[in-house]
Amino acid sequence: MLRKAYPSDLSDEEWEMLKVYIPPAKTGGRPVEHSRREMVNAILYVLRTGCGWEYLPHDFPAWQTVYDYFNQWKVAGVWEAANAALTGQSRQREGREVSPSLGIIDSQSAATTEKGG
């Protein structure tokens, strides 16, 4: 990484856990210009700060490239698979079942006041 780190950047340990879910670069065609880790860091920056893709700082890859990777990985189910697996690992480390055995839904509704005209 040739830039100063942002608070949203992955640590080495976090990257080691996540990189197995990120698809490798396709063979043939144009050579890869940016690392997969840098793409994930740019995506996390947008998600953490809430900025628009167009406002991604210039020391990241071009926002269009980052957005394209984000979209391709979303369609491929990368984010869902990584979230499910990492959540399961986290639960297991805490001594809990990998999958929750029970879900609780709060169906309480809040009272509102109606204003008449």
Residue 105 binned pLDDT confidence (cut-offs 50, 70, 90) = confident
- Grouping H, G, I as helix, E, B as strand and the rest as coil, residue 103 is coil
100: pLDDT strictly greater than 80: no
CA 39 to chain centre: 10
Q: What percent of the chain has pLDDT over 70?
A: 85
Q: Is the dihedral of CA 93, 98, 102, 103 positive or negative?
A: positive
112: pLDDT strictly greater than 80: no
Say if residues 98 and 92 touch (Cβ distance below 8 Å). yes
Q: What is the pLDDT of residues 7-37, one digit of tens each?
A: 999 999 999 999 999 999 888 888 889 999 9
Q: Where are the domains of the chain?
A: 37-95
pLDDT at residue 46 in the model: 97
CA 81 to chain centre: 11
Question: What residue type is 1 in one-letter code?
Answer: M
CA distance 49 to 88: 26
Residue 117 binned pLDDT confidence (cut-offs 50, 70, 90) = low
